[in-house]
């Protein structure tokens, strides 16, 4: 076994058959792990996603968004029986050790090269334990070690007025500013709410921003979000909601669907948030609580999030 940091890997394997990953992140919630990898290719990377999803017992679900692969996994050990084409790549083991997450990949031929050498060069990787160097017809195997991160989703609503502003753009710019300040900004999801709401400005949407953060940085992220919203919002109704972890409670999803398909009031939003222990914060006012909470329940289901329910 050889232990190498990303820069050491780049020096050792400066070859035309190495394509470094852009970034690797691991988010943890109990025994559940969300592995996020930014592959060097876009649609070509779907082959790998298909292999991993079909062959790895430790992967519960997976999807691709451009070159971003998101694997919902669980801690454990389930070594692969590699077979060319049919069972060519996957995850053998996932372990959480203190503030580190250890994910062991294995693969044949090119997938073996990707197992450690390509992944190990990505931003976010601490080091790689290179167990077998793949390539040609040889298998490759490596343990990729990354910092343990946690997911924080921030629902935002009511930052514009009838005359000016746009919540989706303000929310994205807020995420980008937080990214520059060192927070890992993962995604921006637009959630369509009830189109006949008399309180709406126009399109009636709320926003969910997702972040990966170290445990001791969560409060700082939330406080900074509030500061930036107070600075930039045009509305006296702005509010946020905070969801931590990798699970969406079924009651929260039900609330979000109800808010898409009919009128919802602040009192119900507050009651639902209290039952689920979800912080619901009035930044400049109370009305935004309704949509901010609704954004959280559908942040991981973009197809449902954008649907328009046209019942009056």
The pLDDT assigned to 297 comes to: 96
The pLDDT assigned to 161 comes to: 57
Q: Tens of pLDDT along 232-254?
A: 998 899 999 999 999 999 999 99
Q: Tens of pLDDT along 174-208?
A: 999 999 999 999 999 999 887 755 665 555 789 99
The pLDDT assigned to 234 comes to: 87
Mean pLDDT over the full length of the chain: 90
Residue found by looking up tokens 């300040």 in the block? 181
Residue range 158-305 forms a domain whose CATH class is alpha beta
The answer to whether 133 and 268 are in contact (CB under 8 A) is no
Q: Tens of pLDDT along 36-73?
A: 999 999 998 999 999 999 999 999 999 999 999 999 99
Question: Burial letters for 46-72: b for 16+ Cβ neighbours within 10 Å, e otherwise?
Answer: eebbebbbebbebbeebebeebbbbbb
Task: Name the nearest CA neighbour of 192 among 276, 261, 102.
Answer: 261
Q: How far apart are CA 192 and CA 203, in angstroms?
A: 8
Q: How far apart are CA 247 and CA 34, in angstroms?
A: 11
Query: For residue 311, is pLDDT > 80?
Result: no
Point out which residues pair with 153 in neighbouring strands.
210, 243
Q: How far apart are CA 18 and CA 158, in angstroms?
A: 47
Domain with CATH 3.30.70.2200 in the chain: 158-305
The pLDDT assigned to 103 comes to: 97
Please give the backbone phi and psi of residue 170, each rounded to the nearest 5 degrees, phi first. Answer: -60, -45
Q: Tens of pLDDT along 281-299?
A: 999 999 999 999 999 999 9
Sign of CA dihedral 297, 301, 302, 308: negative
Query: For residue 162, is pLDDT > 70?
Result: no
């Amino acid at each position: 076994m050889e232990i190498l940091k990303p820069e050491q890997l780049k020096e050792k394997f400066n070859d035309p058959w190495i394509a470094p990953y852009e970034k690797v992140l691991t988010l943890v919630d109990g025994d559940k792990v969300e592995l996020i990898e930014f592959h060097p290719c876009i649609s070509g990377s779907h082959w790998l996603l298909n292999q991993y999803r079909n062959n790895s017992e430790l992967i519960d679900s997976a999807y691709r968004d451009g070159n971003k692969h998101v694997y919902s996994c669980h801690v454990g050990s389930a070594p692969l029986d590699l077979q060319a084409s049919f069972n060519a790549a996957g995850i053998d083991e996932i372990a959480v050790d203190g503030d580190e997450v250890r994910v062991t990949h294995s693969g044949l031929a090119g997938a073996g090269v990707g197992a450690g050498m390509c992944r190990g060069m990505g931003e976010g990787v601490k080091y790689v334990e290179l167990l077998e160097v793949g390539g040609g017809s040889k298998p490759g195997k490596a343990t990729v070690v990354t910092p343990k991160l946690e997911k924080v989703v921030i629902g935002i609503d009511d930052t514009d007025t009838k005359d000016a502003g746009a919540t989706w753009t303000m929310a994205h710019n807020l995420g980008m500013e937080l990214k520059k300040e060192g927070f890992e900004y993962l995604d921006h999801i637009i959630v369509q709410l009830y189109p006949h709401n008399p309180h709406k400005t126009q399109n009636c949407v709320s926003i969910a921003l997702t972040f990966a953060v170290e445990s001791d940085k969560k409060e700082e992220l939330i406080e900074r979000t509030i500061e930036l919203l107070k600075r930039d919002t045009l509305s006296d109704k702005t509010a946020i909601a905070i969801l931590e972890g990798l699970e969406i409670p079924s009651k929260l999803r039900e609330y979000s669907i109800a808010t898409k398909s009919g009128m919802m009031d602040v009192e119900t939003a507050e009651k639902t948030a209290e039952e689920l222990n979800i912080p619901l914060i009035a930044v400049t006012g109370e009305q935004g609580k309704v949509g901010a909470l609704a954004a959280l329940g559908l942040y991981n289901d973009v197809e449902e999030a954008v649907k328009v329910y046209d019942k009056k």
